[in-house]
Amino acid sequence: MEKKSNNVLVGMSVFGAIFFIFGFATTFIIQLSAPVMAVFNLTEFQAQLLTSAFFIAYPVMSIPTGMLINRIGYKWTVSLGLILMAIGSLIFIPAARIPSYPLFLMATFVLATGVVFLQVSANPYVTAIGPESGASGRLNLTQALNSIATMVAPWLIAVVIFRGLELPAGATEAQELAYGLEVANRIPFPFIVMAMIVVAVAIALFLIKLPVITASKSENGKKSVYRHPHVLLGAFGIFCYVGAEVGNAGLMVNYLRQGSLGLSAEMASTYAAIYWGGAMVGRFFGSIMFSDIKSQTKKYISIALVLVLAFISGAFVTEWNWTIGAIFTGVAFVNFIIMQIGKGQPARTLAIFALVAGLLGIVTTFTTGHIALWTVISIGLFNSIMFPNIFALAVKDLESSELGSASGIINALIVGGAVIPPLMGSIADNYSYTYAYIVPAICYLYIFFFAVKGSKIRVAS
């Protein structure tokens, strides 16, 4: 029993670090659309193609990665993913120095392929490493660690890329060119650091012993997965969730810059960090509420610590603006109260959160100023438990031999992140940024349907 517990601890520690790494990389690319737009003087639609280049890797590589796991195992698949991430990060250096947008897209795809290797490996591993009853709690915990990274990434863009830079209103062509070149010069540094970190993790991975999770080789495994409607409906739920989350974030910086508030690029990026911080806080709430912790006292102490984290992190990314930290904490507390309505049930909580997120998207569309600012930021809190709960509901009651194939199918539908943001970008270019936010609201309505109806377990004849 002690050995099994140690194996779970080691496995969760390693994959917690893995979730942090690919969370940072994913969010950094999503938020990079605003700097890239400045460098190459792109439309919003063209800038969102960077996000598409990242998420298109999921349908291309997810199912082959599921097959690769069955052949070489989780550890080697994770190692290959880290190596590809390092290579992709290094390609960004010449892409920014030239600068070349096609090379940016190529670097993004290589980096994304590495992330796909990690994500397809990590989710079923975390699900299978312990008791099924705690699967949602473990997934929420690793997603919370992932979300710490997603809050750091846009803050880093604000500090490393946009700090001290401001393009004046009515700027001349020469000023725009100089601004874009300075942004391009600042882009490589974060990718150099990222490459060094993933190489270090890859080396560490070879030096430790991970618990072995194997899938029995069943020729009928793939066919049996397609006989489970909840797997396929859950996969489309992932399409909608990722598309909505990424679309909200990808347009947020330029939306806040060009909207009624007229924020600077640096300040808009810090608010994007708070959006991702909401997902972090909500996932910590979820990891507590869906965990096996029996003591109510321990649960509420943990909740209080998460609220302190919300207060400090909200203030930190806004250069210790304690008022913003307090507002963010208040919104987080409302999120926790609403989570109680779910009573710790994944499907019920998912339905409630999807409905609230959809309403917030609609309010964002039809309001302006500080109301729209805080409604769009608050969506992050209600995105929080969606991915782990959709995933857990989609793979519920599957055999171990079906997990690899199911994970490949579900992760392939992360392609929603390649489809929804350019659609929103096109609406922003042709109409306005506010109307673009009706698209994620529709996505959340489908997730509500999946939680209420689509996640029911049944086998197609």
Q: Tell me the two tokens of residue 421.
A: 């943001």
Contact between 115 and 22 (Cβ < 8 Å): yes
Mean pLDDT score of the chain? 85
Query: How far does CA 394 lie from the centroid of its chain?
Result: 18
Q: Per-residue pLDDT for 444 more than 50?
A: yes
CA dihedral 185, 146, 78, 115 (to 10 degrees): -50
Q: Per-residue pLDDT for 425 more than 90?
A: yes
Q: Tell me the two tokens of residue 256.
A: 């806040």
Instruction: Out of 221-225, 425-429, 445-449, pick the least confident.
Output: 221-225
- Look at residue 5 in the predicted model and tell me its pLDDT: 52
**Domains of the chain by start residue, with CATH:** 2-209+220-454 (1.20.1250.20)
Contact between 249 and 31 (Cβ < 8 Å): yes
pTM: 0.82
What's the pLDDT tens digit per position in 54-64? 999 988 887 78
Q: Tell me the two tokens of residue 50.
A: 């960077």
- Look at residue 1 in the predicted model and tell me its pLDDT: 42
- Look at residue 150 in the predicted model and tell me its pLDDT: 83
3-state SS class at 171: coil
- Look at residue 273 in the predicted model and tell me its pLDDT: 92
Q: Per-residue pLDDT for 3 more than 50?
A: no
Q: Per-residue pLDDT for 113 more than 50?
A: yes
What's the pLDDT tens digit per position in 156-192? 888 888 887 776 666 677 877 888 888 888 888 889 9
| Average pLDDT for 219-236 | 73
Angle at 385 between CA 287 and CA 433, to 5 degrees: 145
Between 421 and 292, the more confident residue is 421
Phi first, then psi: give them for residue 168, nearest 5 degrees.
-70, 155
CA distance 136 to 127: 8
Q: Per-residue pLDDT for 312 more than 70?
A: yes
What's the pLDDT tens digit per position in 193-211? 889 988 888 887 777 776 6
CA distance 136 to 242: 18
Of the candidates 262, 252, 236, 278, the residue with the CA atom closest to the CA atom of residue 421: 252
What's the pLDDT tens digit per position in 251-291? 999 899 887 778 888 899 899 999 999 988 988 888 787 66
How crowded is the C-beta side of 352, counted as CA atoms within 13 Å? 18
